[in-house]
């Protein structure tokens, strides 16, 4: 465990800084924007797709289980990313229109 | 060299996520912020596909990857374009579930990988922990989001059984225990426990969300959203991938805070929402608080139209009923017509009206209602005193005076819109059934309140026709 921390200390720093960063950023959001914000954040955690792509790209071409699971994972991840951003954009488009 | 470019791609990705979220917090830059984050995501994804290499080997299986990207991209775009604005919360929940499932699947594959090589090279404890956390959180998030989706679109009803909280706690303890055991002593004989953990996590996700009332769904979705963020960050640890880490943790932290803000708006603690005191056990605390009934009076359409047409100031309080009936456009028409008649019309938006914070704002924005007509709660509460008519469209718990007056009420202490300060209150509802909190609303029985029953859209259309006749 200590080895793990030692090896990944850089990442652990990133985690801690990001926690504060995430909290700071959100704090000033007016409640009007809560739904688009949740939706936008939802799209951003779709970054998990990168893991799915790596898994899939590394799979041996005869390992059908890994290929199939990876395939599904990439589809799901893409859904999350693309759907998330498009939905958010649709919501925000309406906000813009009425601002004129 | 190519790896350096990839590092640069990831750096750009991370920065755009932070900038994007930041810009999303301001109405003027929000849309651009979303695009910035989307652009960063695209760079990170294509960078990974073309530049990633491990031990000198590039990624393979391109046809598969691109096929999956295309399928997901097309379905995702279509679903997101087609969904009605009222169904937005369900959609977010659904997409969130997809992300959770994706994280869980990654854990599956990685685990399979390590088990295969277990004889030659045992995975480190740290790797196992991240795999376990990714699996458990991803599965819970997936199962929970699916249930939340089903509940929001009305396919699933609340469901709970006595002792469910205990059952959930035990289940969670078993999951954590098993995961801990497997992490410390994984061998070729006990690796199947991994799949047991996966199943139990799914079951936990289901039971975790099932008893929680519909009104609390936004809180749950927001929480599951931050869960998925953490699951994504686990992937970041697993592959030593900074962009997954920053993106995941950013969402995890922001989502948690957003969840707390929502709870605060309802004046409840997160644990209170999660244990489901409120949604599940309505028979417990709720029934004792409110003495049922008295008489309510109905108002005819023409009376309602007359009162509103001759008022100086009308405030509309929209709620979930407006969303269900898709009545936002009709509502805007009524507002415009009244304005032409010289009536001042405004909207009072409770922070938790509808199914998500900002839900009503989005709906009314869709109908082109001008931004400066929307008032937040504090501002609205100052204005009710000088208001002639308050028209409540399918809102209930957010205008229930019991939150102020009745300490035994389960919603006691929740900030509400104090509509009873206005001269007249007209309530449009489909029936006298209580709202999601499952409690009676004394407001409906007050002398100054009158009821206008019916579907919000139909009622508003009729009302509009009547107003034109006045």
Of B99-103, B149-153, B332-336, least confident by mean pLDDT is B149-153
Please tell me the predicted confidence (pLDDT) of residue B215. Answer: 67
Measured CA to CA in angstroms, residue B447 lies from B54, B382, B443, B453, B470 at distances of: 74, 22, 9, 17, 25
- Residues of chain B with pLDDT > 90, as a percent, come to 34
Q: Nearest Cα to B460, choosing from B366, B354, B347, B337?
A: B337
Rounded distance between C-alpha atoms, residue B30 and residue A29, angstroms:
10
The two three-digit tokens of residue B34, written as one number: 């979303």
| 8 Å CB contact of B244 and A47 | yes
* Residue B343, both tokens: 């009536």
Could you tell me the two tokens for B73?
């991209």
Residues 1-20 of A with CB under 8 A from B: 1, 3-4, 7-8, 11, 14-15, 18-20
Please report whether residue A14 resides in a domain: no
State the average pLDDT over residues B171-187.
90
Q: Taking 90 as the threshold, does the pLDDT of residue B106 lie above it?
A: yes
Does A86 contact B365 at a Cβ distance shorter than 8 Å?
no
Residue B345: what are its φ and ψ, rounded to 5°? -120, 135
CB contact under 8 A, B59 and A53: yes
Q: Answer whether B254 sits within 8 Å of A26, measured CB to CB.
A: yes
* Model ipTM value: 0.91
Tell me, what DSSP letter sits at residue A45?
Answer: G
Q: How confident is the model at residue B283 (pLDDT cuts 50, 70, 90)?
A: very low
Whether A21 is in a domain gets the answer no
Mean pLDDT of B256-278: 73
Q: What is the domain extent for residue A85? A: 38-100
**What digits encode the pLDDT tens for the residues B13-24?**
999 999 999 998
Q: Where are the extended beta strands (E) located within B241-385?
A: 313-318, 344-348, 374-375
Q: Best interface-test mutation with A: which of B15, B26, B30 has the largest number of A CBs within 10 A?
A: B30
- Please report whether residue A28 resides in a domain: no
* Separation of alpha carbons B109 and B117, rounded Å: 13
Q: What is the Cα Rg of chain B in Å?
A: 26
> Can you read off the two tokens belonging to residue B1?
């060299």
B89 touches chain A (CB under 8 A): yes
pLDDT at position B146: 95
Residue-level pLDDT at B137: 96
Confidence band (pLDDT; 50, 70, 90) for B287? very low
Q: Picking from B71-75, B194-198, B375-379, which range would have the lowest pLDDT averaged per residue?
A: B375-379
Helix (H), strand (E) at residue A76: helix A64-78
Contact in structure between B375 and B381 (CB atoms under 8 Å):
no
Residue found under tokens 């309140």: B449
pLDDT at B285 over 80: no
d(CA B165, CA B3): 49
- pLDDT score of B289 more than 50: no
Name which of A8, A48, A81 is nearest B103 (Cβ-Cβ). Answer: A48
Q: For residue A17, tell me if it sits in a domain.
A: no
CA B460 centroid distance within chain: 27
Question: How many whole angstroms separate alpha carbon B323 and alpha carbon B243?
Answer: 37
In a domain, A77, yes or no: yes
Closest CA to B239 of B452, B59, B32, B425: B59
Residue B442 annotated as catalytic: no
Which range has the worst mean pLDDT, B73-87, B290-304, B334-348?
A: B290-304
Kindly report the number of other CB atoms within 10 A of residue B54's CB atom. Answer: 12
- Closest CA of chain A from B359, distance in Å: 6
- What is the distance in angstroms between the Cα of B289 and the nearest Cα belonging to chain A? 31
Q: pLDDT for B380-435, tens place per residue?
A: 888 898 999 999 988 888 888 888 887 777 777 778 888 888 888 999 888 777 76
What phi, psi does B375 have (nearest 5°)? -115, 140
Let me know: does B102 contact B138? Beta carbons within 8 Å: yes
Number of structural domains, chain A?
A: 1
**B133 confidence band (pLDDT: 50, 70, 90):** very high
How far, CA to CA in Å, does A55 sit from each of A65, B8, B13?
Answer: 12, 21, 20
Would the CB atoms of B113 and A66 count as touching at under 8 Å? yes
Over 70: is that where the pLDDT of A97 sits? no
CA-based nearest residue to B59, from A94, A8, A98, A74: A74
Q: Could you tell me if residue A65 is inside a domain?
A: yes
What confidence tens digit (pLDDT) does each residue in A24-74 have?
888 777 767 778 888 999 999 999 999 999 988 888 878 888 889 999 999
B213-222 pLDDT, tens digit each: 666 788 889 9
Mean pLDDT of B290-301: 70
Interface of B with A in 380-419 (CB under 8 A): none
- Strand segments, DSSP code E, in B57-112 are 57-58
Structure tokens at B229: 């963020």
Q: Which residues of B touch A96 (CB under 8 A)?
A: 31
Question: B153 pLDDT exceeds 90?
Answer: no
Distance CA B470, CA B459 (A): 16
Q: What angle do CA B411, B253, B264 make, to 5 degrees?
A: 15
The per-residue pLDDT of chain B, averaged, comes to 85
Residue A16 CB-density burial (10 A; 0-12 exposed, 13-18 middle, 19+ buried) = exposed
The verdict on residue A15 lying in a domain is no
Neighbours of B279 (CB within 10 A): 23
The whole-angstrom separation of Cα B177 and Cα B197 is: 10
**Degrees, nearest 5: CA angle B105-B106-B112:** 90
Per-residue pLDDT band for B291 (boundaries 50, 70, 90) equals: very low
Residue A11 belongs to some domain of the structure: no
At residue B85, does pLDDT exceed 80?
A: no
What pLDDT, on a 0 to 100 scale, did the predictor assign at position B189?
80
Q: Is B191 exposed, middle or buried (0-12, 13-18, 19+ CB in 10 A)?
A: middle
């Amino acid at each position: 465990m200590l080895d793990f921390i030692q090896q990944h200390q850089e990442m652990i720093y990133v985690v801690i800084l990001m926690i504060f960063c995430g909290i700071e950023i959100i704090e000033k959001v007016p409640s009007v924007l809560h739904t688009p914000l949740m939706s936008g954040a939802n799209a951003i955690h779709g970054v998990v797709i990168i893991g799915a792509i790596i898994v899939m790209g590394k799979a041996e071409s005869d390992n059908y289980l890994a290929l199939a699971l990876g395939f599904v994972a990439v589809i799901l991840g893409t859904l999350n990313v693309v759907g998330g951003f498009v939905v958010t954009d649709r919501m925000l488009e309406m906000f813009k229109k009425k601002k004129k | 060299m190519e790896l350096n470019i990839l590092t640069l791609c990831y750096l750009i990705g991370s920065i755009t996520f932070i900038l994007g979220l930041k810009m999303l917090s301001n109405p003027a830059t929000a849309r651009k912020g979303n695009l910035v984050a989307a652009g960063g995501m695209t760079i990170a994804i294509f960078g990974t596909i073309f530049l990633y290499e491990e031990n000198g080997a590039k990624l393979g299986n391109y046809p598969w990857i691109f096929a999956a990207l295309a399928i997901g991209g097309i379905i995702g775009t279509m679903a997101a374009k087609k969904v009605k604005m009222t169904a937005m919360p369900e959609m977010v929940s659904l997409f969130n579930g997809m992300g959770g499932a994706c994280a869980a699947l990654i854990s599956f594959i990685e685990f399979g990988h390590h088990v295969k090589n277990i004889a030659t090279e045992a995975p480190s404890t740290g790797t196992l922990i991240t795999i376990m956390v990714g699996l458990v959180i991803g599965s819970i998030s997936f199962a929970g989001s699916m249930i939340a989706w089903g509940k929001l679109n009305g396919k699933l009803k609340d469901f709970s059984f006595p002792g469910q909280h205990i059952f959930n706690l035990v289940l969670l303890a078993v999951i954590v225990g098993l995961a801990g055991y497997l992490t410390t002593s994984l061998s070729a004989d006990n690796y199947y426990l991994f799949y047991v953990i996966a199943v139990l996590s799914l079951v936990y996700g289901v039971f975790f969300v099932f008893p929680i009332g519909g009104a609390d769904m936004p809180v749950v979705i927001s929480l599951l959203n931050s869960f998925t963020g953490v699951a994504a960050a686990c992937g970041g640890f697993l592959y030593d991938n900074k962009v997954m880490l920053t993106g995941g943790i950013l969402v995890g932290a922001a989502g948690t805070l957003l969840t707390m803000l929502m709870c605060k708006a309802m004046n409840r603690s997160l644990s209170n929402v999660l244990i489901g005191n409120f949604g599940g056990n309505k028979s417990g605390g709720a029934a004792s608080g409110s003495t049922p009934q008295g008489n309510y009076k109905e108002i005819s359409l023409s009376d309602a139209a007359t009162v509103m047409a001759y008022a100086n100031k009308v405030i509309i309080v929209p709620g979930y009923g407006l969303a269900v009936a898709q009545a936002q456009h009709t509502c805007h028409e009524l507002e415009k017509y009244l304005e032409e008649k010289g009536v001042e019309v405004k909207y009072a938006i409770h922070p938790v009206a509808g199914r998500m914070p900002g839900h009503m704002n989005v709906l009314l924005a869709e109908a082109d209602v001008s931004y400066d007509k929307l008032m937040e709660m504090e501002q609205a509460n100052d204005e009710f005193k000088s208001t002639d008519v308050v028209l409540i469209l399918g809102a209930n718990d957010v205008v229930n005076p019991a939150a102020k007056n009745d300490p035994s009420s389960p919603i006691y202490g929740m900030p509400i819109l104090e509509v009873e300060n206005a001269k007249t209150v007209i309530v449009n509802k489909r029936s006298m059934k209580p709202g999601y909190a499952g409690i009676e609303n004394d407001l409906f029985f007050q002398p100054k309140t009158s009821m206008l029953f019916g579907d919000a859209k139909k009622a508003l259309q009729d009302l509009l026709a009547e107003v034109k006749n006045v």
